[in-house]
């Protein structure tokens, strides 16, 4: 796991924890979700701390992820961009996460 410095600062300002999970959409699809600060109440997570960055990244128990990279997003909205196993997480790979959803 790697959280870049500017992304870590954005996460720290909102509580210091980043949550990744998936929600079912219909019968055959999953939507990638992200939240900074507050997790959804009905999901169980495994959390790992990036000691260098000072933040925790929590991934839902049912999501397989070998490598996670978190970068700052500068335009059009300031947020974070997450890559899981080299692939973008979320809509087009970037989410301007407010507190409780992605």
**Residue 4, by phi and psi: left (phi above 0), alpha (psi -120 to 50) or beta?**
beta
Q: Yes or no: say if 78 and 9 are a contact pair by the CB < 8 Å rule.
A: no
Exposure on the CB side of residue 13, measured as CA atoms within 13 A: 11
Domains defined along the chain, listed by start: 2-90 (2.60.300)
The pLDDT profile of the chain, 102 residues, written as one tens digit per residue, is 999 999 999 999 999 999 999 988 888 788 899 999 888 899 999 999 999 999 999 999 999 999 999 999 887 677 899 999 999 997 544 444 444 444
pTM value > 0.85: no
Residue-by-residue DSSP string for 19-78: EEEEEEETTTEEEEEEEES---TT--EEEEEETTTTEEEEEETT---S-EEEEEE-SSS-
């Amino acid at each position: 796991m790697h959280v870049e410095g500017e992304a870590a600062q954005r996460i720290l300002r909102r509580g210091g924890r980043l949550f990744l999970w998936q929600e079912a959409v219909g019968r055959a699809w999953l939507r990638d979700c992200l939240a900074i600060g507050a997790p959804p109440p009905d999901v169980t997570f495994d959390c790992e701390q990036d000691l260098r960055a000072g933040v925790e990244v929590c991934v839902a128990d049912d999501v397989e992820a070998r490598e996670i990279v978190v970068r700052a997003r500068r335009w059009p909205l300031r947020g974070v961009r997450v890559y899981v196993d080299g692939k973008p997480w979320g809509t087009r790979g970037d989410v301007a996460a407010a507190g409780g959803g992605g």
